C-alpha cells in the first residue's frame, strides 16, 4: 500500500489527499542531490586535512626520502669542501712556496658567482632557496676543482723543471779531492802573483799535477773550448742554462769540443798551466746572469760537511793567487 498523505480542509469539513506536481518533485530531487554533493565535498575537504590518500602517502614517502638524500648529499659536499680546502692550503703554503710560485688567492678560486642571479630559474618552487643554494655550492666546488687541477699541473711542470735545474746547476768540485794537492786561493781579494798588487780574484784556484782530470760541475753545452780569452790560456766555458755558466782555465788539453753536450761528472779537460799562470792549477769560475759569483756555494753535490768546512776555511785565507 502506497504511503498516501491527507490534510484536513476546514472549509469542506473533510480530509483531502495531498498531491505533489512533477516540477516540485524534480526541484526537491535536485535540491537533495545538490545538498548531498555539497555535504560530500565538505566531508572530503575536511577529511583530507586529517587523513592522507594512498597517493599522498606515496608522495610524502618520496619527499621524505629526497630530504634524507639531500641531507646525506649535503654532508658529502661538506666533506669534499673540507678535503679540497686542505689541498688548497697545502698547495699555497707548501707546494707553490717550495717551487717559488705565487699562491692563488681564495677570491680567485671562488669569484664569478655574485652579481647577476644565475639561479633565478629555480625560483617559484617550495624549496627554491634550498635548490639554488645547492646548485651554487656545486658550481663553486667545480670551479675550485678546475683551478686546483690547473695549479697541480703547474706544480708538476715546475717539479720537472726543478729536477732539470738541479741536474744542470754547477754542484760539484771540478777536481776530486784525492787528486787535489791543495786549494790554493779562494774568491775575494788576493795578491796578484805577477804585480804583487792586491786585487779581486773572481774564482777559485785548485792546485793539482799537470794532466789531472777536470770534471764538468753540471749538465750543459760547451760554448767555448779555446785559448782566445786574455789570461785564461786554454779554457772551457759550459752553459748550464738558467743563467749559469762555469769556466775552467789554464788547461793542459781539452777532452770536449764546442757545442758538445756534457753531463755532470764528465771529464772535460786536464789541469795545466797555460795562459797567465805560475804553476799547474785549475782556475774555476761561475757566472750567474753574466755576473761572476763565489763558486764555494756550489759544492754541495760531492763534499761532506767536514770537507766543505775545511774548504771554506782555506778559501777564506787572503793569500797570493796563482793567476
Are residues 278 and 161 part of one domain?
no
Are residues 195 and 150 part of one domain?
no
Q: Determine, yes or no, domain membership for 62.
A: no
Q: Quote the pLDDT of residue 1.
A: 46
Q: Quote the pLDDT of residue 12.
A: 75
| Number of domains comprising the chain | 3
Q: Determine, yes or no, domain membership for 1.
A: no
Secondary structure (DSSP) of 247-265: EEESEEEESS-TT-EE-TT
Domain end, chosen from 168, 201, 217, is at 168
Q: Determine, yes or no, domain membership for 21.
A: yes
Are residues 33 and 151 part of one domain?
no
For the segment 168-197, the average pLDDT, to the nearest whole number, is 84
Q: What is the pLDDT of residues 141-151, one digit of tens each?
A: 888 888 888 98
Are residues 181 and 307 part of one domain?
yes
Are residues 99 and 132 part of one domain?
yes
Are residues 191 and 227 part of one domain?
yes
Which one, of 272, 150, 171, 278, lies nearest residue 220 by Cα? 171
45 — pLDDT class (breaks 50, 70, 90) = confident
Specify the range with the lowest mean pLDDT, choosing from 1-5, 62-66, 129-133, 233-237. 1-5
Are residues 219 and 158 part of one domain?
no
112 — pLDDT class (breaks 50, 70, 90) = low
Q: Quote the pLDDT of residue 178.
A: 80
User: Residue 296's domain is classified under what CATH number?
Assistant: 2.70.70.10
Backbone angles phi, psi at 245, to 5 degrees: -135, 135
Is the distance from CB of 240 to CB of 220 less than 8 angstroms? yes
The yes-or-no verdict on residue 84 having pLDDT over 50 is: yes
Q: What is the pLDDT of residues 264-305, one digit of tens each?
A: 999 999 999 999 998 999 999 999 999 999 998 888 767 777
CB atoms within 10 A of CB 63: 12
Q: Determine, yes or no, domain membership for 59.
A: no
Per the document, the length of the chain is 323
Are residues 121 and 143 part of one domain?
yes
The yes-or-no verdict on residue 4 having pLDDT over 80 is: no
Domain end, chosen from 139, 168, 197, is at 168
Q: Determine, yes or no, domain membership for 136.
A: yes
Are residues 85 and 12 part of one domain?
no
Are residues 130 and 89 part of one domain?
yes
The yes-or-no verdict on residue 83 having pLDDT over 50 is: yes
Q: Strand ranges (DSSP E) for 65-151?
A: none
Instruction: Find where cell 726543478 sits.
Output: 162
Residues ≥6 apart with Cβ < 8 Å to 283: 203, 204, 205, 232, 247, 248, 249, 250, 277, 322, 323
Q: Quote the pLDDT of residue 260.
A: 97
Q: Determine, yes or no, domain membership for 237.
A: yes
Q: Determine, yes or no, domain membership for 61.
A: no
Are residues 307 and 233 part of one domain?
yes
- What does the alpha-carbon distance between residue 175 and residue 284 come to, in Å, rounded to a whole number? 10
Q: Quote the pLDDT of residue 91.
A: 84
Are residues 112 and 37 part of one domain?
no
Q: Strand ranges (DSSP E) for the chain?
A: 6-9, 14-17, 182-185, 188-191, 198-201, 204-207, 213-215, 220-226, 235-241, 244-249, 251-254, 261-262, 267-271, 281-288, 291-293
Q: Quote the pLDDT of residue 222.
A: 97
Q: What is the pLDDT of residues 226-249, one digit of tens each?
A: 999 889 999 999 999 989 999 999
pTM of the model: 0.59
Q: What is the pLDDT of residues 13-36, one digit of tens each?
A: 777 777 767 777 777 788 878 888
Average pLDDT, the chain: 83
Q: Indicate if the alpha-carbon torsion angle 210, 291, 237, 160 is positive or negative.
A: positive
For the segment 162-190, the average pLDDT, to the nearest whole number, is 83
Q: Which domain holds residue 35?
A: 6-50
Q: Determine, yes or no, domain membership for 138.
A: yes
Amino acid at each position: 500500500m502506497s504511503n498516501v498523505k491527507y490534510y484536513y480542509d476546514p472549509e469542506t469539513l473533510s480530509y483531502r489527499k495531498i498531491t505533489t506536481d512533477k516540477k516540485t518533485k524534480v526541484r526537491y530531487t535536485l535540491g537533495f542531490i545538490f545538498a548531498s554533493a555539497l555535504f560530500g565535498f565538505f566531508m572530503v575537504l575536511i577529511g583530507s586535512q586529517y587523513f592522507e590518500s594512498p597517493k599522498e602517502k606515496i608522495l610524502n614517502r618520496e619527499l621524505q626520502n629526497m630530504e634524507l638524500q639531500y641531507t646525506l648529499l649535503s654532508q658529502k659536499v661538506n666533506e669534499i669542501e673540507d678535503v679540497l680546502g686542505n689541498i688548497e692550503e697545502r698547495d699555497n703554503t707548501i707546494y707553490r712556496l717550495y717551487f717559488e710560485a705565487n699562491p692563488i688567492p681564495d677570491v680567485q678560486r671562488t669569484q664569478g658567482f655574485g652579481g647577476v642571479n644565475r639561479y633565478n630559474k629555480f625560483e617559484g618552487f617550495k624549496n627554491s632557496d634550498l635548490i639554488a643554494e645547492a646548485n651554487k655550492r656545486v658550481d663553486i666546488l667545480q670551479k675550485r676543482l678546475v683551478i686546483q687541477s690547473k695549479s697541480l699541473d703547474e706544480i708538476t711542470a715546475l717539479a720537472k723543471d726543478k729536477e732539470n735545474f738541479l741536474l744542470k746547476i754547477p754542484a760539484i768540485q771540478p777536481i776530486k779531492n784525492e787528486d787535489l794537492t791543495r786549494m790554493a786561493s779562494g774568491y775575494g781579494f788576493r795578491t796578484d802573483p805577477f804585480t804583487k798588487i792586491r786585487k779581486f780574484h773572481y774564482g777559485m784556484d785548485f792546485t793539482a799535477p799537470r794532466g789531472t782530470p777536470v770534471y764538468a760541475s753540471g749538465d750543459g753545452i760547451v760554448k767555448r773550448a779555446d785559448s782566445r780569452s786574455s789570461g785564461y790560456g786554454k779554457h772551457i766555458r759550459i752553459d748550464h742554462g738558467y743563467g749559469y755558466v762555469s769556466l775552467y782555465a789554464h788547461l793542459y788539453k781539452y777532452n770536449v769540443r764546442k757545442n758538445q753536450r756534457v753531463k755532470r761528472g764528465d771529464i772535460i779537460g786536464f789541469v795545466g798551466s797555460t795562459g797567465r799562470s805560475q804553476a799547474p792549477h785549475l782556475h774555476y769560475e761561475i757566472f750567474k746572469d753574466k755576473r761572476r759569483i763565489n763558486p764555494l756555494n756550489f759544492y754541495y753535490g760531492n763534499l761532506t760537511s767536514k770537507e766543505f768546512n775545511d774548504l771554506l776555511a782555506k778559501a777564506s785565507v787572503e793569500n797570493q793567487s796563482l793567476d
